[in-house]
Amino acid sequence: MERTLSLIKPDGVEKNLIGEVIKRFQDHDIKIVAMKMLHLNRKQAEGFYAVHREKPFFNSLTDFMTSGPIVALVLEGDRVIELNRKLMGATDYTKAEEGTIRRDFASSIEQNVVHGSDAPETAAFEIGYFFNSFEIVG
Ligand code: ATP
Ligand code: MG
């Protein structure tokens, strides 16, 4: 059993996609074991995306991620890291497979609706970034 961090980004919340994204998780037997809505400040967004600090899109990305509320979820299931990445689709929605969240709803490479941890180590860091042990059930 694995856990992963999912974020519904500000564009996803703005487009009223919270229910749609959660439905897709639940339709694939993914269990939600933690969930909260929050509005990141700049320091929090920069800390979350610290690995991208040197990238040309870093400032734009942190601007975007602080532009409105997000929903953070901890997902649990068999190989859920990979399954969530599959449901999300490629970072660039124009290259994402049909039927993926990003292909269906993203509006740019940056405003791509969802985030999902990409490996067990990043999942552990990212879950801990948003949730303490008392906020995760089961
Ligand atoms: P995420 O980490 O959000 O799940 P990802 O792993 O598919 O997405 P990363 O390469 O980790 O993509 O980039 C993190 C985020 O930075 C992307 O989801 C997107 O919002 C933004 N981003 C990535 N590449 C670009 C780019 N070339 N221009 C603008 N924004 C970008
Ligand atoms: Mg990533």
Q: What is the pLDDT of residues 47-92, one digit of tens each?
A: 999 999 999 999 999 999 999 999 999 999 999 999 999 999 999 9
The CA-atom distances, in angstroms, between 125 and each of 60, 71, 92, 128 are 23, 17, 24, 5
**Domain at 2-129: CATH architecture:** 2-Layer Sandwich (3.30)
**pLDDT of res. 138:** 79
Which numbered ligand comes closest to the C-alpha of 5?
A: 1
User: Cα(127) to centroid of ligand 1, in Å?
Assistant: 18
**pLDDT of res. 46:** 98
Q: What is the pLDDT of residues 84-115, one digit of tens each?
A: 999 999 999 999 999 999 999 999 999 999 99
Instruction: Just list the catalytic residues.
Output: 115
Q: What is the pLDDT of residues 15-43, one digit of tens each?
A: 999 999 999 999 999 999 999 999 999 99
List the residue whose alpha carbon is closest to atom 13 of ligand 1: 91
**Pairwise CA distance, residues 48 & 130, whole Å:** 9
pTM for this model (two decimals): 0.97
The CA-atom distances, in angstroms, between 8 and each of 21, 69, 78, 133 are 8, 9, 21, 21
Whether 17 contacts 8, CB under 8 Å: yes
Q: Is any atom of ligand 1 closer than 6 Å to the C-beta of 12?
A: no
